[in-house]
Amino acid sequence: MTFQENYLENIRKLFRYYKSMGDQSLERLTEEEIHFRFEENSNNAAQIAKHMAGNMLSRWTDFLNSDGEKEWRNRENEFVDDFKTKADLMEYWEKGWNAVFTAIDPLQVEDLEKVAYIRNEGHSVLEAINRQLGHYSYHVGQLVVISKAIKGKNWQSLSIPKGQSKAFNQEKFQQDKSRKNFI
């Protein structure tokens, strides 16, 4: 496997990993909790998820053929908490992620050097992917922190639970060495 093939395989897994972390964080919140804000100027989980989906739809729709900042995108509206139900929010969230996977899953090694524009600034496809992966992981981290803070003692860890690192590592080191993705 070439470096470029490995990269494409890895980013497909990473986008799915961050989607899963976001999914689990949102799933743990009730209808009311997705709208909870810690203070007036902070964003709640619904606003963050809406912004992410809006960004995804803009960036990945017609990827490589049109600018990633679509004329129809209203970024400011992405921060307006106007979803009436959690189900509506989750439908929009899924629509955003579907745009990501529809664009990245068919990519081939030769596509990595093509140019993708975002606000008229050219990026190699590799750079555009890295830009969005960083953006989405940042916001998924916010969703995790918000969900964890809301749930408090009822939070169930999305990774190695506090106090269980030693046992986790022992189990890993009892296995034979192998090359694989952590996801």
Q: What are the pLDDT digits (tens) for 85-101?
A: 999 999 999 999 999 99
What SS3 state is found at 134? helix
Q: Looking at residue 159, what is its pLDDT?
A: 87
Nearest Cα residue to 1 out of 176, 180, 132, 124: 180
Looking at per-residue pLDDT, the higher value among 81 and 159 belongs to 81
Residue 179 pLDDT greater than 80, yes or no: no
Average the pLDDT over 128-150 and give the result: 97
- Mean pLDDT calculated for residue range 26-36: 97
Q: What is the pLDDT of residue 172?
A: 84
Is residue 105 within 8 A of residue 46, CB to CB? The reply is: no
CA distances in angstroms from 120 to 57, 64, 171, listed in the order given: 17, 12, 49
What lies within 8 Å, CB to CB, of 5 at 6+ separation is 109
What's the CA angle centered on 157, arms 97 and 19, to 5 degrees?
A: 5
The pLDDT score that the predictor gives to residue 158 is 87
- CATH 1.20.120.450, applies to 3-158: yes
Name the residue ranges covered by the structural domains of the chain: 3-158
